[in-house]
Amino acid sequence: MAVDLLLGLQWGDEGKGKIVDVLTSNYNIIARFQGGPNAGHTLVFNGMKHVLHTIPSGIFHEDAVNLVGNGVVIDPVIFKNELDKLATQNVDYRKSLVISRKAHLILPTHRLLDAASEASKGKAKIGSTLKGIGPTYMDKTGRNGIRVGDLELDNWKDKYRALANKHESMVNFYNVDLEYNLEELETEFFEAVDVLKSLKFIDSEEYLHQALRDQKSILAEGAQGSLLDIDFGTYPFVTSSNTTAAGACTGLGIAPTSIGEVFGIFKAYTTRVGSGPFPTELFDEDGETMGRVGQEFGATTGRSRRCGWLDLVALRYACQVNGVTQLMMMKADVLSGFKSLKVCTAYKYKGEIIQHFPYNVEVENITPIYTDFEGWAEDLTEMDNESTLPKSLNAYIDFLEKELEIPIKVVSVGPDRKQTIFR
Ligand code: IMP
């Protein structure tokens, strides 16, 4: 058996949670491989909305095992809150949730460092979710981090104290106004660690290899999007992990040869939350309509998302970096009612027309070149069959498939599990 990957191709918030939830019945194991509680994966079914941050989106299906991989960073406090919510919905997570011993922990002081670093940057801030993601990955690569497996050692609190003390002096070094009560934060943290310790820790790479030998099917669930990748995204306005396909290999310990399908998820338009370049961003009524109709507010931070037309230059780049084999187009319903639509097919970059995603995509260097499309007036949200889709939507889809040379297998027409059209 192979491991299939599901990845966001834009700046995150593409709707990965919904699709994982829809696909879970085809898989035995759902595994998160990078990121942490900066993610907010939204699932809607039976008239209820659920937001997951660190726990894989297969958790609502009884038969799937949900694995938090070594590449993920875990904040025990947020994790505990997620578990508490699941308990109120009678989800038996003890049976279906396993955690890699090699996953790193986000400490309260990592969050403080994130806040201090952002505050010190002023206007140049990344727009981080302030969940401590960057500082935790810095400690991981700096070989100072605390891992889930350390919690099984007697002296882990000594290691914790030494690292937290170091972090406190680093926070002071930033010399910014930051109010906090570390004692309170630590009480909450240690309580949450006790809950975490009651879950099943595993050597996840061994577990997954055995699962593959046993012919189990595995879906690796990406977080954030390709344009937020630490190497290939719009650096430095990115997150601190590899959000692209390669991240699934390092974040789970699976070989590239084990990868099967690569599902690439994109919105029918583009959004971005936080700072950083966004060539097709709209500042007009169209952008405002996308934001309002699409309810474009961050699932983790509640911030408004910036909106713009679909950017095929960026999407093509993401498809290449990830080796996407199937595309899934989300939120097509949000574009209903636009008289005409635009898709960016090339950039004018320093006086030249280019079709690749260049080193620097700051707006002052880039003028997007657009192709116009006829819009559609029909409400798509009740549609459940490809044959009922409006002609102009089909023309939009056909164009994208031809340009990207990858089939669009799913068109999502609403947030609910049921509002999913397979092609
Ligand atoms: P961080 O990962 O919280 O440090 O945030 C870095 C950048 O990535 C900021 O612009 C965030 O808004 C963005 N970001 C992080 N996680 C997500 C996500 O799950 N969806 C969308 N944007 C995200």
The whole-angstrom separation of Cα 239 and Cα 241 is 6
Specify the pLDDT at position 301: 85
Residue 134, ligand 1, Cβ within 6 A: yes
- Give pLDDT < 50 ranges for the chain: none
- Please tell me the predicted confidence (pLDDT) of residue 92: 93
110 is annotated as an active-site residue: no
End-to-end alpha carbon distance in the chain: 24
> Is the CB of residue 110 below 6 angstroms from any atom belonging to ligand 1?
no
User: Residue 133: CB within 6 Å of ligand 1?
Assistant: yes
Residue 3 pairs in a beta bridge with 218, 259
Residue whose CB lies within 8 A of the most ligand 1 atoms, among 38, 75, 230, for a mutation test = 38
Question: Atom 12, ligand 1: which residue's CA is nearest?
Answer: 274
Q: Compute the distance from residue 377 Cα to the ligand 1 centre, in Å.
A: 33
What tens digit of pLDDT does each residue of 260-274 get? 999 999 999 999 999
- Residue located nearest, by CA, to atom 10 of ligand 1: 274
How high is the pLDDT of residue 53? 97
Catalytic residue among 4, 21, 41, 139: 41
Cα 238 to averaged position of ligand 1 atoms, centre (Å): 7
- How confident is the model over 172-193, as pLDDT tens digits? 999 999 999 999 999 999 999 9
- The response to whether residue 226 sits with its C-beta less than 6 Å from ligand 1 reads no
**pLDDT (0 to 100) of residue 363:** 86
pLDDT for res 287? 97
Amino acid letter for position 10? Q
Give the pLDDT of residue 299.
Answer: 80
41: closest CA among 92, 90, 7, 64? 7
Residue 115, ligand 1, Cβ within 6 A: no
Query: Which of these, 316, 319, 333, lies nearest to 389 by C-alpha position?
Result: 333
Q: Say what the pLDDT of residue 302 is.
A: 87
